[in-house]
């Protein structure tokens, strides 16, 4: 039987602490060669902007994950999400399809969890001021996940939409943290210990000239395209860069590919993964004034780890629909 998990069911299974732990373990497993993480494949047609990204991973409890994510820019004008995805989980040993999940909740939550893992590994231990550029769907999950690893007392948010900031404040009413608006992106960054960019930007919303010594930056929101970025080349040049996966970043992360193409950085600057830091094989932050950057592109092993967590929790609670796909 195959378990079908819809978005509404998956929302009931969200657990930031458990998700952070699952993603941390998955990143360590990749570095230890206990999980397999190939670079994603991009499926498209000539001269059209639509892209379909195929992400896969194996190695977690005899499971294989394959996620198909669509990136349809024209959907913005249709009132539809520009990105959608579905995840298929299959048993490694016999090929039985274990579950099919709507991709929105797992992708959102594993993205926030990976940011939290990176922040725990790279940000200063005394970090209490958090800045967000962007107040969309990634914002509240990020605050909840980040509060699992640091005792933030204030979140300063910049968004083009004051309504979204107000909605974020309401969504975080149960979290012991002050949420306030900033008039500009630079205003949000000033005085922050940790900065997260959470926008679907094509052009930079964060400039390296704004950064202060000792800050940690999480670049998260840019679409998986080589010509899109949220951070300018100066951010990358000034920072020690950490990636979730080198091969994946070299396929679809404009945040690092553009400065690499400009000659602002060399390829040697893009060799350290977050997993290597977690496993102790590469150093993370080396001094208090260092600016660290986690470039989040999202990888299949994160989808696999979080999907496995949700499948276990759904079956324990009797949630979801079991179907026989071979009937």
Number of separate domains in the chain: 2
* 309 and 235 share one domain: no
CA distance 258 to 265: 10
What pLDDT score was predicted for residue 59?
Answer: 83
Give whole-number Cα distances, 127 to 16, 193, 215, 252, in Å.
Answer: 19, 5, 9, 30
Question: Is residue 132 within a helix (H) or strand (E), and if so which, with residue range?
Answer: strand 129-133
Q: Is the Cβ–Cβ distance between 261 and 289 less than 8 Å?
A: no
CA distance 145 to 119: 10
* 12 and 141 share one domain: no
Residue 180: how many CB atoms within 10 A of its CB?
A: 11
Q: Where does the pLDDT of residue 76 fall: very low under 50, low under 70, confident under 90, or very high at 90 and above?
A: confident
* 278 and 307 share one domain: no
* 282 and 306 share one domain: no
| CATH number of the domain encompassing residue 10 | 3.30.1780.10
Percentage, residues of the chain above pLDDT 70: 99
* 242 and 199 share one domain: yes
Percentage, residues of the chain above pLDDT 90: 86
Q: Where does the pLDDT of residue 50 fall: very low under 50, low under 70, confident under 90, or very high at 90 and above?
A: confident
Q: Where does the pLDDT of residue 41 fall: very low under 50, low under 70, confident under 90, or very high at 90 and above?
A: confident
Q: Which residues constitute the domain of residue 40?
A: 2-106+301-323
pTM as predicted = 0.95
What are 88-124's pLDDT values in tens digits?
Answer: 999 999 999 999 999 999 999 999 999 999 999 999 9
Q: Which residues contact 259 (CB under 8 A, 6 or more apart)?
A: 233, 236, 237, 265
Q: Which two tokens stand for residue 158?
A: 């910049």
CA distance 299 to 248: 7
What pLDDT score was predicted for residue 170?
Answer: 98
| CATH number of the domain encompassing residue 177 | 3.40.50.720
CA distance 157 to 135: 7
Measure the CA angle with vertex 208, ends 191 and 195; round to 5°. 45
CA distance 61 to 119: 27
Q: Is the pLDDT of residue 44 over 90?
A: no
* 147 and 293 share one domain: yes
* 135 and 271 share one domain: yes
* 271 and 201 share one domain: yes
Q: Is the pLDDT of residue 47 over 80?
A: no
Pair type for strands 2-5 and 97-102: parallel
Q: Is the Cβ–Cβ distance between 206 and 197 less than 8 Å?
A: yes
Question: Is residue 242 within a helix (H) or strand (E), and if so which, with residue range?
Answer: strand 240-243
Residue 73 included in any domain = yes
What pLDDT score was predicted for residue 71?
Answer: 85
* 315 and 198 share one domain: no
What are 204-240's pLDDT values in tens digits?
Answer: 999 999 999 999 999 999 988 889 999 999 999 999 9
Residue 115 included in any domain = no
* 280 and 153 share one domain: yes
Residue 42 included in any domain = yes
* 311 and 242 share one domain: no
Q: Is the dihedral of CA 247, 253, 257, 259 positive or negative?
A: negative
User: For 30-44, what is the mean pLDDT?
Assistant: 88
What pLDDT score was predicted for residue 64?
Answer: 97
């Amino acid at each position: 039987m195959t378990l079908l998990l819809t978005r509404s069911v998956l929302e009931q299974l969200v657990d930031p602490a458990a998700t952070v732990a699952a993603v941390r373990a998955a990143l360590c497993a990749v570095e230890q060669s206990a999980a397999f993480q190939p670079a994603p494949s991009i499926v498209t047609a000539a001269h059209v902007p639509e892209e379909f990204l195929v992400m896969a991973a194996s190695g977690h409890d005899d499971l294989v994950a394959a996620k198909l994510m669509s990136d349809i820019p024209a959907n913005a004008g249709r009132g539809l999400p520009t990105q959608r995805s579905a995840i298929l989980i299959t048993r490694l040993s016999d090929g039985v399809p274990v579950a099919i999940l709507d991709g929105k909740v797992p992708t959102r939550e594993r993205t926030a969890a990976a940011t939290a893992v990176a922040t725990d590994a790279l940000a200063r231990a005394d970090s209490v001021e958090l800045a967000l550029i962007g107040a969309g769907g990634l914002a509240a999950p990020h605050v909840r996940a980040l509060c699992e690893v640091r005792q933030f007392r204030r979140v300063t948010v910049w968004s083009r939409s004051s309504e979204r900031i107000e909605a974020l404040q309401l969504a975080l009413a149960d979290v012991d943290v002050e949420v306030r608006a900033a008039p500009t992106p630079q205003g949000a960054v000033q005085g922050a210990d940790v900065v997260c960019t959470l926008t679907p930007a094509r052009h930079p919303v964060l400039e390296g000239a704004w950064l202060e010594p000792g800050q940690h930056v999480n670049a998260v929101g840019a679409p998986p395209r080589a010509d899109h970025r949220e951070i300018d080349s100066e951010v990358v040049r000034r920072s020690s860069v950490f990636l979730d996966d080198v091969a994946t970043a070299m396929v679809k992360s404009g945040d690092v590919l553009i400065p690499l193409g400009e000659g602002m950085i060399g390829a040697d600057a893009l060799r350290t993964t977050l997993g290597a830091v977690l496993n102790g094989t590469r150093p993370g932050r080396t001094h208090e004034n260092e600016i660290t950057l986690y470039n989040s592109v999202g990888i299949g092993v994160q989808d696999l780890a979080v999907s496995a967590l949700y499948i276990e929790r759904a079956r324990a609670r009797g949630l979801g629909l079991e179907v026989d796909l071979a009937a």
